[in-house]
Amino acid sequence: MITIFGLFVHPTDALCAVQRIERLGVEQKNIEVLTAAPYHEIRVTGDAGERTISRYAVAGGIIGTLSGAALAAGTAAIVHLPTGGMPIVSLGPVGIIMFALAGLGAVTGTVFSTVRAAGLARFKPSHDDSGLMLEVAKGGLLLAIECGKDLWVQPIKQILCDAGAYDVK
């Protein structure tokens, strides 16, 4: 697997290149656009999986709520203190504990799903060239194409150059 990089100045140029590379037969998931700030006009990935984050947040919230209820129920079951008629855990506090744990679960779910879906914290060396990343930091758009077939390498490089890339590797 070879990764081909092309540095662009204009988002439109980069998008043109993406379109033409796709037409060549390169799968969408193998094309990435790296930028130092979000470029809302660029959409090469069909579904980034944003909905997973919301789903995990909700799921975490539900798990948190249930563990809050379990904590309260468990407390009522294991604490055998005479309270003079008052309950060991009353309804109001149970609601508050459930609320707090729901928040905790939702936060955990969001962090977990974001880190997972965005491929963060893998702690393996990035294959990105640090010189190219410096250009990205300065404001360039980096197109990274994972090329499965050797046959495609030359045409892709050609497309990148034609589309206006100022550096192709």
Partner 1 sequence: MERPLDYDRNHAIHRDLLRPLFESGPKFYGLLAALASLMLWAIACWAYQIYNGLQVTGYNRPVMWASYETNFVFWVGISHAGTLISAILRVTGTEWRRPITRCAEAITTFALMIGPMFILIHLGRVWHFYWVIPYPSERGLWPNFRSPLLWDFSCINTYLLGSLTYLYLPMIPDLALIRDIAPRRQWLYRMLSLGWRGTERQWRLLERAISVMALIIMPLAVSVHTVVSWVFAMTIQPMWHSTIFGPYFVVGAIYSGIAAVLLAMWCFRRAYRLEAYFKPIHFNNLGLLLLTFSFLWFYFTFAEYMTSWYGNAPEELTVFWYKLVGPLAPQFWGMIICCFIIPVPILAVRGFRTPFGVMLASVFVLFGMWLERYTIIIGTMANPRLPFNRGFYSPSLTEISIMIGAFAYFAFLFIVFSKIFPIVSIWEIKEGYRLEEGAKDFSPGTVSEVES
Partner 2 sequence: MSHWGMVIDLDRCTGCEACVVACHAENNLPVVGEEQSYLGRQFNWIRVERIIEGEFPDVRARFMPVLCQQCDEAPCEPVCPVYATYHNPEGLNAQVYNRCIGTRFCANNCPYAVRYFNWGTPSWDAPLERQLNPDVSKRSVGVMEKCTFCVQRIRRAKDKAKDENRAVRDGEVQPACGQACPTKAITFGDMDDPGSEVAKLSRSRRATRLLEELGTKPRVVYLKEAE
Site residues, partner 2 (CB under 8 A):
79, 81-86, 90
- Residues between 53 and 82 that touch partner 1 (CB under 8 A): 53-54, 57, 71-72, 75, 78-79
Selection from partner 1, partner 2, none that 1 binds (CB < 5 to 8 A by kind) is: none
* Partner interacting with residue 130 (select from partner 1, partner 2, none; CB below 5-8 Å by kind): partner 1
Count other Cβ atoms within 10 Å, centred on residue 163.
Answer: 21
Residue 29: DSSP 8-state = G
Which token pair is 70?
A: 């379990």
The binder of 82, among partner 2, partner 1, none, by C-beta within 5 to 8 A per type, is partner 2
Judged by CB under 8 A, which of 59, 62, 69, 111 binds partner 1?
A: 111
Token readout for 57 is 């947040």
Handedness of CA 112, 114, 117, 119 (dihedral sign): negative
Q: How far is it, in rounded angstroms, from Cα 105 to Cα 26?
A: 40
Cβ proximity to partner 1, 90 vs 158, nearer residue: 90
The residue count of the chain comes to 169
The angle subtended at Cα 39 by Cα 157 and Cα 124, nearest 5°, is 65
Say if residues 143 and 26 touch (Cβ distance below 8 Å).
no
Q: How far is the CB of 29 from partner 1 (least distance, A)?
A: 9
x-or-dash pattern for partner 1, window 123-162, by CB under 8 A? xx-x-x-x--xxxxxxxxx--x------------------
